[in-house]
Each structure stands twice: as C-alpha cells, then as structure tokens.
Amino acid sequence: MPFLTMSKGYNSDVEALRQKEYPHMNDGVYLDHSGATIYAKSTVDSFCAKMVTNLYGNPHSENFPAKLSGDVVDQVREKTLNFLGASPKEFDLVFVANATAAIKLVADSFRDLSEKTRDRRFWYGYHKDAHTSIVGVRELTYGQSHCFANDQEVERWLHSPETSFVNRYHPGGLGLFAYPGQSNMSGRRLPLSWPGILRESGYLQNTYTLLDAAALAMTFPMETVFQDVDQAPDFTCLSLYKIFGFPDIGALIVRKESGHILTLRKYFGGGTVSMVGTLGENWHRSKGLQTPTYKLHEGLEDGTLPFHSILALGEAIDVHKRLYGSMGRISDHTSYLISRLFRGMASLCHSNGQPVCRVYNENGDFEDSEKQGSAIAFNILRANGQHVPYSDVERSANAAGIYIRSGGVCNPGGIFTALGYEPWMTQRALSAGHHCGSNGISVIHRLPTGIVRASLGAMSTKQDVDTFIEFLRTTFVECDEDWSSTRTAVRSPNTGVLSLDLPFDYTTTTFPDVREIPRPRPLTHQFATAPESIPRISPLPMQDLMHGLAAVK
C-alpha cells in the first residue's frame, strides 16, 4: 500500500473540526505550530461568555468579585496540573508569562542562593540543543558553565561525574542541569530519564534539573514526565499557548520536594510576602518559607496574576479535552503527519537525481514518537548542490499562503552543529554582518546560516502536508539541469498562480568575502477562489521514497 494512503494514527475527525472550530485557518496552510499553535473557536466563545456574565476582581482583594477570581485561579491551577498528569500532592504550578519567564525565575533563584556558597557562584550545565533562553542562564554563573555537545557526553557525566570534565570547580557544590525535552529546531526528542539518573547519583545530590518542555508539551502526553515523582525533573517550564493557542500564558511546574530552593531568592513582589519592613531595618517574610500557612507558588508569583488569562486557560483545557480526547491521541496524529511529511520531502529530486531537501535530524527516525516530535528542520538544495536561501524559501511560501519559519529559530547550538559550523566560522559570519532575524545573511561562502522549519499541531491535516510538499515540488524541483527558464509558475494552495522570478545565475553572485544568494523580488498574489472553496489536493505519488534524501546525522 502506498505510504500516503496509510492512516494509522491519523485522526480524521480533525478535518471536520477544522471547518467548525478553526475557520480562521482557511486563509492558508499554517505550519508554525512550534511558535504557537492555533486556538479553537469554542475556547474564545466560552471565555467571552464567562467574561460578560460574571464580575471578576483583583484576587488580592477580599471582596466578592475578587474572591471569584481567586477561586478560579485555584481551580485552574489544579486543573492544569491534572491535565499535565502532575499530581497536585507532589507538584506545584507557578503561573508565569511564558517558558522563558519560568527559566529566568529558576535562574535568578540559583544566582541569589549561590552568593552564600564558598565561591559565590553555581555550576550550570546545558545541552547544545537548548533554546536560547536556556543558554542565557550561563551568564549568571561567572564562567562556571558547560555546554554538553551530545547525548553521549551527558550520559557519561551522569554515570561518572567524578571523572568527567564539565568546567566544575566544586563537583559537590550547588548546580543546575538544563535541557530541552524536544529540540525546538529539529523536533528531536531527548531522553526523559536523565533527571531520575541524576537524582540517584550520590555525587550530584546538590545538582538540580530543569526541563524545557515548551516544544515537547505541544503534542506529547506529559504524564510520562510526571507520573513517577522520583524520576521527574525538579523544575519544568512550559508555554501553554503552544498547547492551546490561547491564552498567552506559561507555567513552571515545581517538584515540591525541590521547590524550597526557589523561595530563597532575594527579590519579592506584591502578594509574595506576609510582612515587609521599610523604616529602620529592612526585612521581609516570604510566603514561600511559611508552609503550611502558605503554598509554594504564593511566594513566587509576583504581583497580580493575569487572572483573566487564567480563566481563559480553564476554558481552553475543557475545550481541548472535548475536541481531542487525550494528548496521546494528538501524539499519534502528529506522529503520522510528520512521518508523512518527511517521506514526501524525501521523494523530491531534481531531474539529475539530486535531492531537493536536506533534512537535519540526529535520530533519522520520523516513525518513533519517543524520538521525534512534530517538527522538521531542512534546507532546500538546487540541482547543482548549492543552497537556496532559507529566507527565500519562507518568502515564497508566504506568497503561496503557506506559513513556516526560517532562520536561527532561537537554537544556536542546534543550528550551528547541524550546519557543520566551527567556532571560527560563527565569528566570520558575525564579522560579515550576519545576525539573527529577517535581515540576516542567509548563505555565507555557500554555507547556510539557518534552516527552514515546518511544524504541525493537533489540528493539522493530511491536506496541509500534501499542499506543502506540492509547493516544494512546484517551486524548487528543477526539471532541466540548466534551469534555462527564468520564470517559474507557483501554484498557491488556493489555486491562485504566482509568478516567481528565478534568475539563471541564482546562486552565483559573489561579494568580496560573503557569497549570498540573491533574493527574488517581493511577490504579490491573489487567491482565485474563496477560502471556503479550497479543493483537496490529490495524494502525491510516492515512488522511491527514500531516494535522494540528504539527511545530516
């Protein structure tokens, strides 16, 4: 049976849900769920209904509207923990703006506590696949940090910390090890066993673990992380809008046996202290240190909580459960789709047999949801092997109504490792004028400085995948080795035809020290049909699926 007709794990109910719950997705193909997934119409409707039928006040007050808000916050906190499979008896949840804010809360607490240590600093280790926000913690360690280059180095350190060189002057001192549950660049999933192994090490009893689950939690059943409290991370950060689309809020899940270390931070905000002295001696009493009178989160949530957003979160959880049933079902659905996308991209070759897509993934296994999430990182190659600038790929996709992401995607270690950069090469890129963002240089000396990322979510469909593969085929597959035609027709997913200028010397322009592939002129397009009448694309012929894939392992 051809691969693209197999549907094991695919949730066909999503196709009907798209029309009813996601009408705002009809204007294109959204493939940037790793950035933020899309909210359901019912979430907005139910949130609005509660907002116009109830009166909510500041939960720090004692009046009836304030008490209503406080009750909502308590209920949604417990509901969120249960949704994630984290027992409220073993874990607490601290509401924050996003995963980065959660990381900073942990980092600031360790920095403050480290001032009481012998050398007034803490050790910090992080994985090279970490998000920029994880990497940034190293700046608080006064040089005592270490980047683990791969999984094997982490494993060696965990099993033999006394013989591993990780830039640590006091191996038994205060430490923090952080890593992502899933690479936000490639979608590769990292081992969840590391926190438990570290906790069992007698040598590392003063080292804590921080799991960045922002990318992982979007399509993964998190009860796998929290079901065994002895194996769970000490701290886990999430951006909840990556799961529900709305509201824009994050969370820090704290293992209660470890959470006391956070209460020793210096800063305190409104609502986190029981008393403060301002005249004469300066002193304060953190609520986090006054258990059981107060709970851990009460000493960590500075100022007034975004109680309206927390109300919306409760509605989002209820709608999410009603629409999808479980995160396990979403995991199966997106695992099927990412495998379909990978195989479709693998089938794309130029007329000379050279691959169109270079996929970056150390696992090389898009079939196993324990190893691979719902994202794929790649670059586009010409028939002569040179790279099409990632910025041009995103620009062309935008013009065709397909929404992806390109560039460094806030993952410096993952990007430069995948692209084969050495430290001196990153310095050359910087000196040449490259920087992260839309105005960076896409290709320097024929080496890309970033990637293209397509990511799928719970409401993604087969049509989304097939439309994207067809876009890549129509736009970038060269049917003639000389590619003598200077104009290529690009068909949008809404059947509108675009005209794309592709110069004959598309990749040969040379600068004194920087070779950048010139970018096509900005495109304009109009959809020929209304979004509601988008025809379903026919399944693509998948012959020699694995032929021509240039996978970087």
| Helix locations, 160-227, DSSP H | 194-200, 223-226
Contact 366, 342 (CB under 8 A): yes
DSSP-assigned letter for residue 255? E
Catalytic residue among 237, 349, 357, 410: 410
DSSP-assigned letter for residue 128? T
Annotation says 410 is catalytic? yes
CA distances from 364 to 339, 367, 452, 547 (A): 11, 9, 17, 14
Which residues lie closer than 8 Å to 506 by C-beta, 6 or more apart?
Answer: 382, 388, 483, 517, 518
Tokens of 291: 């258990």
Closest CA to 400 of 28, 24, 32: 28
Beta strands in 50-204 (DSSP E): 91-96, 123-127, 145-148, 175-180
CA distances from 233 to 2, 45, 222, 266, 349 (A): 42, 36, 12, 24, 43
354: left (phi over 0), alpha (psi -120 to 50) or beta: beta
Strand partners, 455: 32, 375
Give the span between the Cα atoms of 261 and 257, in whole angstroms.
Answer: 9
Tokens of 469: 């593969």
Contact 217, 185 (CB under 8 A): no
- Residues involved in catalysis: 410
